[in-house]
Amino acid sequence: MILDTNALSAFLEGKSSVVKKLGAMTGVPHLPVIVLGEFRFGLLGSRKKRAMEEHLDAFANECVVLPVTETTARHYAEIRHHLKKTGTPIPQNDAWIAALAWELNMPVLTDDTHFDQIPALSRIPL
């Protein structure tokens, strides 16, 4: 399962539904490097920066961190093209996350319903 930024935030904040979903999954959670960047950006202005960075680092060490590759870029282009044609754009970072999900044929754990606009992408709500 691939975590979106809101799923990572919910997990690190101890939201029980997300903790249960991650605890029940088989395999290792996957974190896109994009999600790590978004989360770290959010921490820059946070009063809880130091504590949250420690939790983030510990969790990230238990995950597969997904890089963006040439294959990912091809999927990203296809997704963006489809969304443009259908008039249903989504945030660019989420298009990258969706591209990784396509590439690996994995579901995305997220509350963002705009992922539902992407064909053949499975979304698991928080």
| Token pair in block for residue 109 | 């754990």
Write the pLDDT tens digit of every residue in 22-37.
Answer: 999 889 999 999 999 9
Measuring CA to CA, which residue among 54, 53, 68, 55 is closest to residue 101?
68
Is the CB of residue 31 less than 8 Å from the CB of residue 3?
yes
| Token pair in block for residue 83 | 């969304």
Q: Provide the CATH number for the domain formed by 2-124 in this structure.
A: 3.40.50.1010
Q: In angstroms, rounded to a whole number, what is the distance separating the alpha carbons of residues 108 and 102?
A: 10
Going from N- to C-terminal start, the domains of the chain cover: 2-124
Identify the bridge partners of residue 65 per DSSP, sorted by sequence position.
31
Provide the whole-model pTM.
0.94
Write the pLDDT tens digit of every residue in 59-102.
Answer: 999 999 999 999 999 999 999 999 999 999 999 999 999 999 99
Q: Is 81 exposed, middle or buried (0-12, 13-18, 19+ CB in 10 A)?
A: exposed
